[in-house]
Amino acid sequence: MNDAPGPTPPQSPAEGRAAGRDLSVLIAVLGACGFASNFTLRLVDPIVPTLAEEFGRSIQQTAILATAFSFSYAFGQPFLGPIADSIGKLRSIAICLGGVCVAGLLATMARSFDAMLVLRAVAGIFAGGIIPAAMAAIGDRAPMAERQIALGRFLVVMIFGQMSGAAVSGVIAHHLGWQAVFALAALLALASLVLVLVLLKPRAIADRPRLSPAAALASYRKVFANPTTIVLYALVLTEGALVFGLPPYVAAILNARSGVGSSEAGLVIGSLGLGGILYGILTRKLVKRLGPARMTTTGGLLMASAYAVFALPLPWWTAIGVFLTQGFGFFLMHGTFQAVATELAPEARGSAVALFACSLFAGHAFGPLLIGAATHLVGTTGAILFCAIGIALLGVVTPRVLPLGGSRS
């Protein structure tokens, strides 16, 4: 498939309406792909205690499954971005969906922790080629004035996967066994692959760089020629560590506090997605009324407040509202980061967004290790409060170090 940006001739009203319909179909299908990717991303968090018991490992050791996925997701990006720019973003997404499907099926047959660790790493590599390429494809087609809103619509569909992966996996594991969770992830990836092949068509005109190390390096030189690049990637790496370091420990925290199991933990972690859906529904109003700078600050302070409440020994069900608030705050901040990322280097958008995802998931990978160390040093409550302070500072500092005027829609 061939989907890099081409020239944009003047459009008649009928052509404009057709382009709008095509963009809507693109967002819906790519949202389904993001659903499948995010489902496999979050499905392990609620069943960490279940897998720990299955493979005879501690909670801290089993949480490394999340790190393996995120590490592979992150550090596959420097290769996946140029591949998407070269062979076409839609073709790249289709191949990666096939990889996620196969990795999910093999995970159902894993008989050792080491095998599961390898399969989660493989799944992370392929999942890493889906959402960044989808964001770049939307960036190719949506003008900057509408891009943050288009990405918000994409997020609404995509986040259902994050929410479902967390909320559903605990319930399925409880009633059908953990193998059924990975089988469902494989089925969702396969269904999304069929949608891409049937409903999405290549662009008529597209300029794609030849796939080679030299071409990849040239694309990255374009990305880093923008002085905003390093600042944005550093911010999103920090964001990823502070936001996603805690979920692998949530099931154990809630079990220690209230004696609940994976089903309840899945509902709590899944409520992050509800906050994201709320953001997606309100994106247009939020962008117009708050603007990017206030969105990042407000998001950081909301997440900090949510963490502070979670530090209190409250009944487990109160954490649903806490994580819903955190999810809304995260996407207030991250949605702005995404819009900026799509404009770092329009002629190498796939590479720019891939490195953006690399930074986010490097934070994902580092986060559980950071929270584990903090828990060892200052206890669970201290680790949660550490996250609260860090994310509040990130929200306050971001508008002072990152140019956000260009991301206003």
- pLDDT over 60 at 2, yes or no: no
Runs of H (alpha helix) within 2-88:
13-42, 48-55, 59-62, 64-75, 77-87
CA distances from 85 to 5, 216, 247 (A): 10, 9, 33
pLDDT at 135: 82
Q: Determine the Cα–Cα distance for residues 324 and 400; give it in Å rounded to an integer.
A: 27
Of residues 164 and 48, more confidently modeled: 48
Across 62-76, 175-189, 259-273, 354-368, which has the greatest mean pLDDT? Answer: 175-189
Query: At residue 113, what is the residue type?
Result: F
Q: Which of 334, 407, 346, 349 is nearest to 133 (CA)?
A: 349
Give the mean model confidence (pLDDT) for residues 115-122: 94
- pLDDT band (50, 70, 90) for residue 3: very low
Domains and their CATH numbers in the chain? 18-202+209-407 (1.20.1250.20)
- pLDDT band (50, 70, 90) for residue 320: very high
Q: What is the dihedral of CA 356, 357, 363, 366, to 10 degrees?
A: -130
Find out whether 190 and 70 touch, Cβ atoms under 8 Å. Answer: no
The rounded mean pLDDT for the chain is 84
pLDDT at 229: 93
Q: What is the dihedral of CA 401, 402, 403, 404, to 10 degrees?
A: -130
- pLDDT over 90 at 392, yes or no: yes
Share of the chain above pLDDT 90, in %: 33
- pLDDT over 80 at 21, yes or no: no
- pLDDT over 70 at 118, yes or no: yes
pLDDT at 5: 42
Give the mean model confidence (pLDDT) for residues 65-77: 85
Structure tokens at 316: 């487990």
- 298, exposed or middle or buried, with CB in 10 Å at 0-12, 13-18, 19+? middle
List the single range of 50-54, 108-112, 147-151, 229-233 with lowest mean pLDDT: 147-151
Give the mean model confidence (pLDDT) for residues 36-46: 83
CA distances from 306 to 50, 143, 354, 367 (A): 27, 34, 29, 18
Is the overall model pTM greater than 0.75, yes or no?
no
Q: Which of 153, 200, 198, 157 is nearest to 39 (CA)?
A: 157
Give the mean model confidence (pLDDT) for residues 350-360: 85
- SS3 (DSSP) at 81: helix
Q: Determine the Cα–Cα distance for residues 269 and 277; give it in Å rounded to an integer.
A: 14
pLDDT at 4: 42
pLDDT at 73: 86
Evaluated on CA atoms 371, 116, 197, 274, the torsion sign reads negative
Kindly give, in sequence order, each residue whose CB lies less than 8 Å from that of residue 116, ignoring residues fewer than 6 positions away. 51, 55, 65, 107, 110
Q: What angle do CA 41, 231, 45 make, to 5 degrees?
A: 15
- pLDDT band (50, 70, 90) for residue 305: very high
Give the mean model confidence (pLDDT) for residues 10-24: 58
Of residues 203 and 388, more confidently modeled: 388
- pLDDT over 50 at 295, yes or no: yes
- pLDDT over 70 at 117, yes or no: yes
- SS3 (DSSP) at 256: helix
Q: Determine the Cα–Cα distance for residues 49 and 70; give it in Å rounded to an integer.
A: 19
pLDDT at 328: 92
- pLDDT over 60 at 220, yes or no: yes
- pLDDT over 70 at 203, yes or no: no
